[in-house]
């Protein structure tokens, strides 16, 4: 499962307590970053879900999902899901740190985003069951694409913060995670490495 956006499935919303008293379901995503270009710039990897899926069809998200019983930690969840969804081996990931957890409100998930660097020019192996394509977006383009837009889902139209890059609309929990990433990612250091600032 790789999408956590509104509106919820009826089965998920039925057990969610909007007062906050209910327990949220732990989940994790991986935020893969790599450097590319003549003057290396950071890029981020996301997925677009298949258009024929019953849930969250065509939406853009980070590889991730709910924590399984066999996952030793939420970090393991993020790495496992990235391997399952896009063929990213955990040995190819160097973790930088964790971004603030992001709640999905209506569906009752709390998503823990883990940021990691990966090599450039990897050959992706997207899951045929879930993923339509793997996106590699320049963070400069993502930052420039911040806007507000109207989203229509299941007969409802609402305005929301979003990032639009090359006609790809990124909203919901994924957009909030990107916002935190852009706030925390530091310029390249003298060795050409990426890093996250300490959380407040």
Percent of the chain with pLDDT strictly greater than 70: 82
Q: Residue 65 falls within a domain, yes or no?
A: yes
> In this structure, is residue 50 part of a structural domain?
yes
Q: What is the pLDDT of residue 24?
A: 87
Q: What percent of the chain has pLDDT over 90?
A: 63
pLDDT of residue 14: 36
pLDDT score recorded for residue 41: 95
Tell me the β-bridge partners of 32: 116
Residue 145 inside a domain? The answer is: no
For residue 67, the domain's CATH number is: 3.90.79.10
72 within some domain:
yes
Residue owning tokens 């003549």 = 38
Q: Is residue 90 part of a domain?
A: yes
Q: Does residue 87 carry a pLDDT above 70? A: yes
* Structural domain range at position 37: 10-16+24-138
Do the domain assignments include residue 188? no
Alpha-carbon gap, residue 170 to 178, rounded angstroms: 9
Segment 34-58 mean pLDDT: 81
50/130: higher pLDDT: 130
Of the candidates 158, 86, 143, 146, the one whose C-alpha atom is nearest the C-alpha of residue 116 is: 86
pLDDT in tens, 9-42: 333 333 334 334 458 899 999 999 999 998 899 9
Query: How far is Cα 65 from Cα 109, in angstroms, rounded to an integer?
Result: 10
Question: Would residue 154 count as lying in a domain?
Answer: no
* DSSP per-residue codes, 119-159: -SS------TTTEEEEEEEEHHHHHHTEEEEEEEETTEEEE
What DSSP element (H or E) covers 182?
A: helix 172-184
Number of domains in the chain: 1
Say if 45 falls within a structural domain: yes
Q: What is the pLDDT of residue 152?
A: 75
Residue 164 has pLDDT above 50, yes or no: yes
């Amino acid at each position: 499962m790789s999408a956590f956006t509104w509106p919820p499935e009826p089965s998920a919303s039925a057990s969610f307590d909007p007062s906050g008293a209910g327990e949220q379901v732990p989940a994790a995503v991986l935020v893969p970053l790599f450097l590319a270009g003549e003057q290396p710039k950071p890029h981020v990897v996301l997925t677009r879900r298949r258009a024929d899926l019953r849930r969250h069809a065509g939406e853009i998200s980070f590889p991730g999902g709910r924590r399984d019983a066999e996952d030793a930690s939420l970090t393991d969840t993020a790495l496992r899901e990235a391997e399952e969804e896009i063929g990213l081996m955990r040995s190819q990931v160097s973790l930088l740190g964790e971004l603030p957890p992001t709640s999905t409100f209506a569906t009752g998930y709390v998503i823990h985003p883990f940021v990691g660097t990966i090599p450039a020019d990897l050959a992706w192996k997207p899951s045929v069951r879930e993923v339509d394509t793997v996106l590699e977006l320049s963070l400069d383009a993502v930052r420039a694409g911040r806007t507000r837009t109207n989203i229509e889902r299941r007969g409802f139209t609402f305005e929301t913060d979003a990032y639009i890059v090359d006609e790809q609309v990124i909203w919901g929990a994924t957009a909030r995670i990107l916002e935190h990433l852009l706030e925390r990612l530091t310029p390249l250091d003298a060795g050409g490495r990426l890093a996250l600032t300490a959380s407040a």
